[in-house]
Amino acid sequence: MYLLYSLTLTLLFILLLPYFAFKSIQTRKYLANLGERLGSLPPHLQSDGRPTLWIHAVSVGEALAAIPLINALRKRLTGYRIVVSTTTLTGQSVARSRIIAADAFCYFPFDWAFSVRRALSTIKPAIVVLMESELWPNFIRLCGEDSIPVMVANGRISDRSFGRASKLGFITRRLYQGIDRFAMQSEADADRARALGASSDRVFVCGNLKYDVKPGSSSDTGLEEILARDHRPLIIAASTLAGEDEIVLSSFLKVRETQALAKTRLLIAPRHPERFRSVEQLLVGTGLSLLRRSELNENRTEPVPDPDIVLLDSMGELSGLFRFGSVVFVGGSLVPTGGHNILEPAAVARPIVVGPHMDNFREITSDFLKRQALVQINGAGVDPSTSLTEALLKILQNADFANELGLNAEAAVRSQVGAVDCLANHVESLLTSMTNR
Radius of gyration of the chain (CA): 22
Q: Mark whether 390 is an active-site residue.
A: no
Q: Which one is catalytic: 62, 244, 317, 344?
A: 62
Q: Which residues are catalytic?
A: 62
